[in-house]
Amino acid sequence: MSELIYKDESYSIIGKCMEVHNQLGSGFLEIVYKDALEYEFKKCGIEYEREKRYKVNYKGIILPHKFYADFVVMDKSILEVKAVSAISDAFVAQAINYLKVSNNKLALIVNFGDLKLSYQRIVC
């Protein structure tokens, strides 16, 4: 069996997401969970960039619209925050696109919208 990419880092991120979900539960908008995560990342000294902007190159030109990843954590992983009933294929496709434009290897889609926190790892 192969080793998980960024195992320790992703456990730290998911741990902070669990802390936020344990405190707030479900039912808030995504922005509330992002604010709480930012607080937790700062408090623990976890390096992150919020709403990181990525340019999209199409056939050698940069398109006018950009991609904005919710968080880039430790300059390695994309963290996408959702507050929906379930993680859809569209969210997975979005995360794959973020990985393509960022050249990162791991994306975490974390859903706060259900009674139990759920997440999905996307590796490219």
Q: Is the pLDDT score of 1 beyond 60? A: no
Q: Any idea what the CATH number is for the domain that residue 50 is in?
A: 3.90.320.10
| Residue 45 to residue 41: CA distance in whole angstroms | 6
* Within-domain flag for 95: yes
Note the pTM of the prediction, 2 decimals. Answer: 0.93
**Confidence class for position 102, pLDDT limits 50, 70, 90:** very high
Among all chains, which residue has been given the structure tokens 């808030």? 28
**Confidence class for position 3, pLDDT limits 50, 70, 90:** confident
| Residue 20 to residue 114: CA distance in whole angstroms | 13
Angle formed at CA 26 by CA 42 and CA 74, multiple of 5 degrees: 25
Helix (H, G, I), strand (E, B) or coil at 53: strand
Among all chains, which residue has been given the structure tokens 């995560």? 37
| 28: containing domain | 7-123
pLDDT of residue 92: 97
* Within-domain flag for 80: yes
12-38 average pLDDT score? 98
* Within-domain flag for 65: yes
pLDDT of residue 114: 93
Residue-wise DSSP of 28-42: S-HHHHHHHHHHHHH
Q: Is the pLDDT score of 2 beyond 90? A: no
* Within-domain flag for 109: yes
Overall number of domains in the chain: 1
Other CB atoms within a 10 A radius of the CB of residue 65 amount to 8
* Within-domain flag for 1: no
* Within-domain flag for 92: yes
Q: Is the pLDDT score of 36 beyond 80? A: yes
| Residue 6 to residue 43: CA distance in whole angstroms | 21
* Within-domain flag for 2: no
| Residue 41 to residue 51: CA distance in whole angstroms | 14
40-93 pLDDT, tens digit each: 999 999 999 999 999 999 999 999 999 899 999 999 999 999 999 999 999 999
* Within-domain flag for 104: yes
